[in-house]
């Protein structure tokens, strides 16, 4: 086994050292391995600490007082009580593994323990992830991982073709790791991905989603998306994005839909925006290819309704990738309303209030962020022109006004008391009818007015009440859509 002695200038936390030393003092081998060694060698802070050992799981759990079984691969979590650092709360200890054959390109048919470190390193995905470190400073590097680290290259351990055939997710991991570290893919590894890309669709959506999220959250998601497209993976993740390639936009845009989306997401990463904002940036114009129409009158392309269509598409994509419901809902709302109107001359407080009520008080800031990215992605030089800043100020202003039934100066309980009615849907209908009025005129949100109004509304049948609420809402939305369209036409072309 080739070993090289090396002194690392990054310190290994005492908690990690203690776990390794405890294994050793019990007669076992212990090596740091995987991402943490890679990160230590390039001066990056490790996300987690993985130790590999020749001890089998039962021995590991016997040595440490506080452990739990983590997964089907024999990983034992060693718990450190009372540490602050999240990455040190659980140190993962995994026995040397020898992988059995793969018949489904997903997971090995069997997981067998081995007594040799070499076996464990051989089954790892990339050379830079297959370096072991015996504390304090002995490096075991069987596949020239250090050389690849120096050259900033992601290269499969062994024959890339065979390794991607065993586990197709590794293809996406290769891209994820490359964009996280700003590395490039070794040409042979890259070719093997292009050749095996179709197998990605056999992967569990959750596993694809998790790597995809990391690409989106990396400092260069646009590079990851381009690579995924070029190597044929994107078509098995979000094929809808590829529909935007070569789809020219109207005169206000220099880029096709795909490139505009990439630039929008690039800016979201540059600003270190949240996952939801980045995904909304990614999906905001996904409805454009499907809604593009030529306008003879304008002599230009239009994309009417791309926000509505895009929101529906985003919902489908997120469900397909098994995103949590709440995340999906937020992103769908952001895509749906990303065209919100921001002409300061004509926008009213009530329209802003309604927008905040629609997307929610947290999302409204994400919506502003998406808009900023959208601008930069279009090639505009300025993030926040006067009208966006003005809109921002208006949001601040209306946030003090009621935006949901919870903010009304009357409660469901009080309504039951005043009207002498039992709990039931009617209370909700009355509350919503009140909210409709108050969104228009926040001045009406007083105990006196609402209590008087409740008694009037209570005279109506439930059917009438529902009709009032829905009618008011629809009429207003219709009016608003109409104004929006007119103004969009005037200012924005689409
Ligand atoms: P990070 O901690 O930043 O996510 P990582 O490289 O540690 O990066 P993990 O998912 O934590 O990634 O995996 C830990 C190690 O397990 C990897 O470094 C690699 O050696 C190995 N590994 C993970 N997934 C695979 C896989 N699909 N095939 C082969 N080896 C893998
Ligand atoms: Mg890791």
Six token digits for residue 453: 């109004």
> Are 205 and 192 within 8 A, CB to CB?
no
The 10s digit of each residue's pLDDT in 251-306 is 778 899 999 999 999 999 999 999 999 999 999 999 999 999 999 999 999 999 99
How far is the centre of ligand 1, averaged over its atoms, from the C-alpha of 176 (Å)? 11
Buried b (16+ CB within 10 A) or exposed e, 385-422: eeebebbeebbeebeebbbebeebbbeeebbbebbeee
Atom of ligand 1 nearest to the CA of 180: 3
> Are 204 and 229 within 8 A, CB to CB?
no
Indicate if the pLDDT at residue 150 is higher than 50. Answer: yes
- Over range 77-86, report the average pLDDT: 91
Taking the CA of 214 as reference, the closest ligand is 1
Name residue, tokens 């090289």. Answer: 4
> Are 96 and 116 within 8 A, CB to CB?
yes
Pocket of ligand 1 contains residue 35 by CB under 6 Å: yes
Torsion of CA 319, 320, 323, 324, to 10 degrees: 40
Radius of gyration (C-alpha) of the chain in whole angstroms? 28
Pocket of ligand 1 contains residue 124 by CB under 6 Å: yes
Name residue, tokens 């890339």. Answer: 160
The predicted model scores a pTM of 0.84
DSSP H or E stretch at residue 31: strand 30-33
d(CA 357, CA 366): 14
Q: Is 336 helix (H, G, I), strand (E, B) or coil?
A: helix
Pocket of ligand 1 contains residue 469 by CB under 6 Å: no
The 10s digit of each residue's pLDDT in 174-200 is 999 999 999 999 999 999 999 999 999
How far is the centre of ligand 1, averaged over its atoms, from the C-alpha of 196 (Å)? 20
Indicate if the pLDDT at residue 65 is higher than 60. Answer: yes
As a three-state string, the secondary structure of 202-247 is HCCHHHHHHHHHHHHHCCCHHHHHHHHHHCCCHHHCCHHHHCCCCC
Q: Is 255 helix (H, G, I), strand (E, B) or coil?
A: coil
The 10s digit of each residue's pLDDT in 291-347 is 999 999 999 999 999 999 999 999 999 999 999 999 999 999 999 999 886 566 677
d(CA 103, CA 199): 12
In order of their start, the domains of the chain are 3-148 (3.30.460.10), 152-233 (1.10.110.30), 238-399 (1.10.3210), 409-490 (no CATH)
Give the β-pairing of 3-5 and 30-33: unpaired
d(CA 87, CA 225): 28
Indicate if the pLDDT at residue 493 is higher than 50. Answer: no
> Are 122 and 132 within 8 A, CB to CB?
no
Residue to mutate (ligand 1; options 45, 52, 122, 124; most atoms within 8 A of CB): 124
């Amino acid at each position: 086994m080739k070993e090289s002695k090396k002194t690392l200038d990054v310190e290994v936390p005492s908690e990690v050292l203690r776990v390794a030393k405890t294994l050793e003092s019990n007669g076992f081998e212990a090596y740091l391995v995987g991402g943490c060694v890679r990160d230590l060698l390039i001066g990056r802070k490790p996300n987690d600490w993985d130790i590999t050992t020749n001890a089998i799981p039962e021995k590991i759990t016997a040595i440490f007082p506080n452990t739990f079984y983590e997964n089907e691969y024999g990983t034992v979590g060693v718990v450190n009580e009372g540490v602050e650092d999240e990455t040190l709360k659980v140190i993962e200890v995994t026995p040397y593994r020898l992988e059995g054959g793969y018949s489904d390109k997903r997971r090995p048919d069997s997981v067998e323990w081995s007594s040799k470190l070499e076996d464990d390193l051989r089954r790892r995905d990339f050379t830079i992830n297959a370096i072991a470190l015996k504390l304090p400073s002995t490096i075991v590097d069987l596949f020239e991982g250090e050389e690849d680290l120096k050259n900033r290259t992601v290269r499969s351990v062994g024959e890339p073709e065979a390794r991607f055939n065993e586990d197709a997710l590794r293809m996406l991991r290769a891209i994820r790791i490359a964009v996280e570290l700003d590395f490039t893919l070794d040409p042979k590894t890259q070719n093997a991905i292009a050749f095996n890309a179709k197998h990605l669709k056999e992967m569990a959506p959750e596993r694809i989603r998790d790597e995809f999220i990391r690409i989106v959250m990396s400092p260069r998601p646009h590079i990851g998306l381009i690579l995924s497209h070029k190597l044929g993976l994107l078509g098995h993740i979000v094929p809808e994005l590829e529909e935007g390639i070569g789809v020219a936009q109207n005169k206000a845009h220099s880029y096709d839909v795909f490139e505009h989306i990439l630039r929008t997401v690039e800016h979201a990463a540059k600003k270190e925006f949240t996952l939801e904002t980045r995904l909304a940036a990614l999906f905001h114009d996904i409805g454009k290819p499907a809604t593009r129409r030529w306008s003879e009158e304008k002599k230009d392309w239009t994309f009417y309704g791309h926000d509505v269509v895009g929101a529906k598409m985003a919902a489908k994509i997120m469900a397909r990738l098994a995103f949590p419901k709440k995340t999906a809902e937020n992103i769908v709302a952001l895509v749906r309303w990303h065209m919100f109107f921001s002409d300061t001359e004509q926008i009213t407080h009530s329209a802003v209030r309604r927008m905040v009520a629609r997307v929610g008080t947290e999302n409204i800031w994400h919506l502003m962020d998406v808009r900023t990215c959208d601008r930069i992605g279009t090639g505009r030089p300025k993030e926040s022109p006067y009208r966006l800043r003005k809109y921002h100020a208006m949001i601040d202003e209306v946030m003090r006004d009621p935006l949901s039934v919870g903010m009304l100066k009357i409660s469901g309980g009080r309504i039951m008391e005043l009207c002498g009615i039992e709990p039931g849907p009617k209370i909700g209908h009355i509350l919503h009818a009140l909210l409709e009025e108050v969104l228009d005129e926040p001045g009406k949100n007083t105990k006196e007015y609402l209590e008087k109004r409740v008694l009037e509304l209570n005279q109506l049948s439930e059917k009438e009440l529902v009709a009032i609420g829905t009618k008011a809402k629809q009429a207003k939305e219709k009016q608003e859509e109409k104004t929006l369209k007119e103004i969009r036409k005037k200012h924005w072309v689409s």
